[in-house]
Structure formats: C-alpha cells, structure tokens
C-alpha cells in the first residue's frame, strides 16, 4: 500500500505518520508538507532514514507538483494539510481559503486524473457550527460553519463530496473533535496554557471560559483514520470523538493543578469573535460500523500530554521565538 499524506509535518499529520509506520511497517508513505509556521520536521526525527517514509516539501495548491507526485502512483491520499487555527483565520482569512479550499480541489483533481483508489479528507466537527446545551453532532447535522477556518474546511468537504457525486471518485470525510497530545503547536488551548503556566504568565481564557470542546487524544484520532482507510464505505462521512466534553475553564484548572500552579494565573480576556459555544460528537456510526474505540480517557491523555511538554521543552521553546512572538502580540496584545 502506498499512502500519500499531506500536512504530515504538522501536529496530527506527524502523529499519523508515526502511528502508521508502526502499525503497518510494510506501507510506503509519501509525506507532503509546505512547512508553514505549523510544519516541523523535528516531529519526524524518529523515522529519519526509514526507507518507507519519504518527505517532500511541496504546497498542495501547486497543481503541477501535485500532478507529478500523485502521478507516480498512489493508492490512498489522506489530506491533513490545512491552515488550522481559528484565531489566525480571523486575522487573515485569505490563506485559509487558498489552502483549505483551493488546495483540496487541486488534490482532488490529481486524484481523479491518476485514478487514486481512495481520498480521505480529514475534516473537523467545527463545520457543523455550534450546539446549544443539548444534542450532539451526527453525520446528518447540516453544515453551519461560523469562522473563516470552519467555512474553509466546509468548502473543502463540499468539493470532496462533489468529486464523489460528479466524477465517481472514492472518498471518505472524517470529522473529528478537538485533538490534543504531543507535537501540538503552542497556539492551541492545551499546549498554550501549559507553556504559560510553566512560565508563570497569565493564562488568557476567552470570555467566561464556559465554552465546551469535546477532547480526543491524537493517537485515538489516528486509529480511527486507519480504520476509515481500510473499512470506510465509499462516499461516507465518519464523525470521530470520545465523549469527552469539558469547559475551557475545566481544562485550564486541570493543567494548573497538575503543574502545581495557582488559579490566580487565569485571566479572562475579550472573547473570540463568533466563538462557538459547544461542540459534542456523536461517534456511534464510527464505533458501530468500523469497530473503533478510543484507548485514552481524558484523565490519562492529559497526564501524558503534560508529561510530554515537560519532557520536550526544547521542542516548544524553539517554536516560541520569532514569528510566534509577533503572532502572540497581534492576537493577545490588546487583550492581556
Ligand atoms: P497543523 O496546523 O498542526 O498542521 C497543518 C500542516 O499542514 C502543517 O504541517 C503545515 O505546514 C501544512 N500545510 C499548511 N498549508 C499547506 C499547504 N498549502 N501545502 C502543504 N502543506 C500545508 O494542523 P493539525 O492540528 O495537525 O490539523 C491537521 C488537520 O486535521 C487539518 O486539516 C485540521 O483541519 C484537521 N483537524 C484538526 C483538529 C485539531 O484539533 N487540531 C481537529 C479536527 C480536525
Ligand atoms: O488563548 C486561548 N484562550 C481560550 O480561551 C485559546 C487559544 C483558546 N481558547 C478557547 C477557544 C476555544 O473555545 O479554547 C477553546 C479551544 O481553542 P483552540 O485550541 O483554538 O481550538 P478550537 O478553536 O476549538 O479549534 C480546534 O479544534 C477543532 C482546532 O484548532 C481546529 O483545527 C479543529 O478543527
């Protein structure tokens, strides 16, 4: 099996590459990543020299490069490559449309031309919009994205659907809830709060901190995608989530408690515009049809994650220089 993974130097993509090389040591993986601010080859250090992993620096919006790479013969494409941070999409929406919509269409075109056996689009629960106090997102929930990020992901998803309906391309779309774990860029809630707490700096909680996210340890997301590749029914969408809804304040307090830091570090700051109140995934279809089951409870996963950030301080302090400082000042400058 030859897999082409896009965005495999990012958080979930690199975890996925490491997971697949371990689960299926005979598979060949071609890993394409443009190495934006979020891409980091350090994530892949442990597989350096593995003859079954080839890294190619390329942009998924580059039609010629994608045609050439996919034309070399690929069984399955798994598309992780994306601009992924909601706050950045509020500051700079254009690059989100370019990568998440146009990039997906460029990949779909090459997949169609070269008769790729399956295209797996890694999407997000955010395309469904926000929930009230009750109910969960199912695969039938209408798309109602609220941020430029989620709108661009929904655009990509709709193109995947269209290439299936119009051109008969074999596809699956996965929609997962919030991931956490090793190699997550410290702009996202959990690693950001760990790094701030360790530095004894203010932890910026948006609004009242009672927004709810449904958290899944990244390895459990990877195992679900593995099953979708092998058993996903053509044309189907699969929701992925582990029934782990938590308020942001709960997350932040757990981190502070585990690090032995005071709650006085919490600072409520101006809310995110268009901030979705609650996400919650109904994973029944994925658990029943594919036999998927998450391995990590939230309590175990968060402990593992905090341990990883404590053990890998160099990884994230290197990232937090230069361009990161500029972003942090732009995003939080007026709020803190
Ligand atoms: P990330 O930002 O950590 O990684 C994205 C990767 O894509 C980076 O390595 C980056 O260099 C690469 N990339 C960006 N633009 C590119 C381009 N034009 N061409 C090639 N490579 C490009 O993101 P992540 O958190 O790992 O998310 C991966 C995927 O999973 C995304 O599609 C995201 O929408 C989806 N997702 C994320 C979560 C989450 O909680 N993080 C949850 C559900 C779904
Ligand atoms: O400084 C912060 N303070 C804060 O209160 C940050 C960065 C976030 N938050 C809140 C906003 C959200 O309610 O924490 C929650 C989680 O925020 P993010 O980590 O930015 O994630 P979210 O916006 O939920 O989106 C994530 O999950 C779905 C990923 O970034 C997406 O790529 C994925 O699709």
Please indicate, yes or no, if residue 335 is contained in any of the structural domains.
no
Active-site residue (options: 33, 87, 126, 214): 126
Same domain, 19 and 136: yes
Same domain, 205 and 159: no
191-242 pLDDT, tens digit per residue, is: 999 999 999 999 999 999 999 999 999 999 999 999 999 999 999 999 999 9
Please indicate, yes or no, if residue 332 is contained in any of the structural domains.
no
Same domain, 224 and 209: no
Task: Find the mean pLDDT for residues 113-140.
Answer: 98
CB of 44 closer than 6 angstroms to any ligand 1 atom: no
Ligand 2 atom at shortest distance from the alpha carbon of 150: 34
Ligand 2 binding pocket mutation candidate from 125, 184, 191, 206 (most atoms within 8 A of CB): 206
CATH code for position 175: 3.40.50.720
Domain count, the chain: 2
Q: CA–CA separation, 14 vs 20, rounded Å?
A: 10
336 pLDDT above the threshold of 80: no
148 pLDDT above the threshold of 90: yes
Same domain, 193 and 145: no
Ligand 2 atom at shortest distance from the alpha carbon of 177: 28
Detail the DSSP E strand segments found in 103-146.
Answer: 118-124
- Judge if ipTM > 0.90: yes
167 Cα: distance to centroid of ligand 2 (angstroms): 35
Is there a catalytic annotation at residue 149? yes
Please indicate, yes or no, if residue 336 is contained in any of the structural domains.
no
Same domain, 167 and 196: no
Same domain, 127 and 33: yes
CATH code for position 200: 3.90.25.10
pLDDT given for residue 248 in this prediction: 98
Please indicate, yes or no, if residue 71 is contained in any of the structural domains.
yes
Please indicate, yes or no, if residue 286 is contained in any of the structural domains.
no
Kindly give the pairing relationship between strand 171-176 and strand 118-124. Answer: parallel
Q: Please say whether the beta carbons of 181 and 219 come within 8 A.
A: yes
Active-site residue (options: 125, 187, 214, 282): 125
67 Cα: distance to centroid of ligand 2 (angstroms): 34
Same domain, 173 and 33: yes
Average pLDDT of the chain, as a whole number: 97
Confidence of residue 275 (pLDDT cuts 50, 70, 90): very high
Q: CA–CA separation, 50 vs 47, rounded Å?
A: 5
Q: Where are the alpha helices (DSSP H) in 72-200?
A: 86-91, 93-96, 104-113, 148-167, 189-198
Please indicate, yes or no, if residue 327 is contained in any of the structural domains.
no
Same domain, 111 and 248: no
Please indicate, yes or no, if residue 32 is contained in any of the structural domains.
yes
Same domain, 47 and 81: yes
Structure token pair of residue 63 = 């039609």
Which of 235, 279, 282 lies closest to 127, judged by CA? 279
Same domain, 142 and 224: yes
Is there a catalytic annotation at residue 126? yes
CB of 85 closer than 6 angstroms to any ligand 2 atom: yes
79-124 pLDDT, tens digit per residue, is: 999 999 999 999 999 999 999 999 999 999 999 999 999 999 999 9
Quote the domain boundaries for residue 39.
2-180+215-240
Same domain, 52 and 79: yes
Same domain, 164 and 302: no
Task: Find the mean pLDDT for residues 277-294.
Answer: 98
Task: Find the mean pLDDT for residues 241-261.
Answer: 98
Please indicate, yes or no, if residue 112 is contained in any of the structural domains.
yes
Would you list the DSSP string of 189-242? HHHHHHHHHHTT--EEEETTS--EEEEEEHHHHHHHHHHHHHHPPTT-EEEE--
Query: Edge to edge, what strands does the sheet with 245-247 contain?
Result: 178-180, 212-217, 245-247
């Amino acid at each position: 099996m030859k897999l082409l993974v896009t965005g495999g130097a990012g958080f979930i993509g690199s975890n996925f590459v490491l997971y697949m090389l371990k689960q299926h040591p005979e598979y060949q993986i071609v890993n394409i990543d443009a190495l934006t601010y979020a891409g980091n080859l350090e994530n892949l250090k442990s597989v350096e020299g593995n003859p079954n992993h080839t890294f190619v620096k390329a942009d998924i919006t580059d039609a010629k490069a994608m045609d050439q790479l996919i034309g070399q013969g690929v069984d399955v494409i798994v598309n992780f490559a994306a601009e992924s941070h909601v706050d950045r999409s509020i500051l700079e929406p254009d690059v989100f449309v370019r990568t998440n919509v146009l990039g997906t269409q460029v990949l779909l075109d090459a997949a169609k031309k070269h008769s790729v056996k399956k295209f797996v689009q890694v999407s997000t629960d955010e395309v469904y919009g926000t929930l009230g106090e009750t109910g969960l997102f199912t695969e039938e929930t209408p798309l109602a994205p609220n941020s430029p990020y989620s709108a661009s992901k929904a655009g990509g998803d709709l193109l995947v659907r269209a290439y299936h309906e119009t051109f008969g391309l074999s596809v699956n779309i996965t929609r997962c809830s919030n991931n956490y774990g090793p190699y997550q860029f410290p702009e996202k809630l959990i690693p950001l709060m760990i790094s701030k707490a360790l530095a004894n700096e203010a932890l910026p909680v948006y609004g009242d901190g009672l927004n709810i996210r449904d958290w899944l340890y990244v390895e459990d997301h990877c195992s679900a995608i593995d099953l979708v590749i092998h058993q996903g029914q053509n044309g189907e969408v699969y929701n992925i989530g582990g029934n782990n809804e938590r308020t942001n304040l709960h997350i932040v307090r757990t981190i502070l408690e585990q690090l032995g830091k005071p709650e006085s570090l919490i600072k409520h700051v101006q809310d995110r515009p268009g901030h979705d109140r609650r996400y919650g995934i109904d994973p029944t279809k994925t658990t029943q049809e594919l036999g998927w089951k998450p391995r990590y409870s939230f309590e175990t996963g968060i402990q593992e994650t905090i341990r990883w950030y404590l053990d890998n301080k160099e990884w994230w302090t290197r990232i937090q220089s230069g361009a990161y400082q500029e972003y942090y000042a732009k995003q939080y400058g007026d709020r803190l």
